[in-house]
Amino acid sequence: MFHHVKDLQFNARVSRPDPYFANLLLEQFGGENGELAAAMQYFTQAFGAKMPHPDKYDMLMDIATEEFSHLEIVGATIQMLLKGVNGELKDAADQSEIMQVMDGKAAKENIIHQALSANPQFGIITGGGVTPRNSQGIPWCASYIHSNGDLTVDLRSNLASESRAKLVYEHLMKFTDDPYVHESLSFLMTREVAHYKMFEAALNDIQPNFPPGVLASDPRFTQQYFNLSNGATVRGPWNEGEMPDMGKEWNYIADPLAYVQDTQGITATDKTLDKELKQAQKLDKEMSEMRSTEVKNSEPEGVSEWSNYNAPKK
């Protein structure tokens, strides 16, 4: 159950209207890396996490709720950046001033002209208000979020999401010199870093957490690096020497076409790996049983009930 408090989590202020920046800022309201995307990603992940991992559920809900609160900060800022637009639109019978503006005569000073140039829908659809779309008008879409029912995967998705969100705030900060707005962006950007660290700590808390999911990798196909893009080839730690934390060496396939031909489409592989393959399969079974049992045991027999209204509260 949610509850709303009219105070913003951060004291968002705006020195003066700036519809142009309002439009850029829409990226973080209704864009692919924005606050709604973050909030909905962690919120949906939380449902699946609740039973087997009530501690991670608590964390995901805490952060999801903070992201909803950030969504509100971003929306409030956009609304304040559009001050004047709605009032001007309500003066519906009078178009004289607007038309002057459209001719460029009064453009510099006129907010409504800036609003229309930045985003036509500010003037004709949203009435100078906020909308869950990005800076080019694309409606927010649930394809932006990832929730896959496995914490070793979900938490990695979150590390990537926080990284992108941080970068977008960093970029946005270059495009406003309003010190109040700058401070709000600094707050929001930094919270993405803080969340990153929370998710990193939570992922470390699950062991083993690699590979993501349950199954081990197949030893026959794990070590090859295929040099499929020729020209000036470069070697680096991603294709020579040791694989990170794997106890294995990279196997650099310099001529992948010949390799594929020679191995009959990689089906005729090294027999010495057979033993390792069997071990991997054994590990897969044990891991499967462990993870499966963990989930199944956490689910109640019979009627499911989400909340326990008699539980002692904090």
Restricted to residues 265-294, the positions that interact with its own copies (CB under 8 A) are: 265-267, 281, 284-285, 287-289, 291-294
Helices 35-49 and 54-81: angle between axes, nearest 10 degrees: 160
Candidate residues 105, 111, 173, 207; the one interacting with its own copies per rule CB under 8 A: 173
Minimum distance from CB of 247 to its own copies (Å)? 12
By the rule CB under 8 A, 206 interacts with its own copies: no
Contact yes or no for 34/165 (Cβ under 8 A): yes
User: Looking at beta carbons only, is 65 or 106 nearer to its own copies?
Assistant: 65
Cα dihedral angle (98, 103, 109, 114), rounded to 10 degrees?
Answer: 80
Q: Which of 106, 146, 273, 276 binds its own copies (CB under 8 A)?
A: 146
Copy the structure tokens of residue 302: 């019979």
The distance of closest approach from Cβ of residue 275 to its own copies in the complex, given in angstroms and rounded to an integer, is 17
The site for its own copies, by CB under 8 A, has a size of 194
In sequence order, what are the residues at sequence separation of 6 or more whose Cβ sits closer than 8 angstroms to the Cβ of residue 292?
Answer: none
For its own copies, give the closer residue by CB, 38 or 88. Answer: 88
**DSSP state letters, 175-214:** T---HHHHHHHHHHHHHHHHHHHHHHHHHHTSSS--SSSS
- Residue 249 contacts its own copies per CB under 8 A: no
Tell me if 299 contacts its own copies by CB under 8 A: yes
Q: In the complex with its own copies, which residue's Cβ is closer, 83 or 106?
A: 83
CA–CA dist 166, 74 (Å, integer): 14
Instruction: Count the residues in the chain.
Output: 314
Which of these, 18, 8, 6, lies nearest to 182 by C-alpha position? 18
252 in contact with its own copies (CB under 8 A): no
180 binds its own copies (CB under 8 A): yes
The least distance separating its own copies from the CB of residue 133, rounded to whole angstroms, comes to 6
From residue 211 to residue 230, what is the string marking binding to its own copies with x (rule CB under 8 A)?
xxxxx-xx-xxxxxxxxxxx
For residues 192 and 175, give the distance between their C-alpha atoms in angstroms, rounded to a whole number: 19
* Stretch 4-33 residues interacting with its own copies (CB under 8 A): 4-15, 20, 23-24, 27, 30-33
Q: Does position 135 bind its own copies by CB under 8 A? A: yes
Structure-block tokens of residue 76: 């409030």
| Residue type, position 287, single letter | M
Residue 123 touching its own copies (CB under 8 A): yes
Three-class DSSP category at 253: strand
Per-residue contact string for residues 73-92; x = within reach of its own copies by CB under 8 A: --xxxxxx--xx-xxxxxxx
Binding residue (CB under 8 A) for its own copies from 142, 249, 278, 279: 142
74-110 b/e with 16+ CB inside 10 Å = b? bbbbbbbbbbebbebbeeeeeeeebeebeeeeeeeeb
Q: Which of residues 48-67 bind its own copies (CB under 8 A)?
A: 48, 50, 54-55, 58-59, 61-62, 64-66
Which of residues 20 and 106 has its CB atom nearest to its own copies in the complex?
20
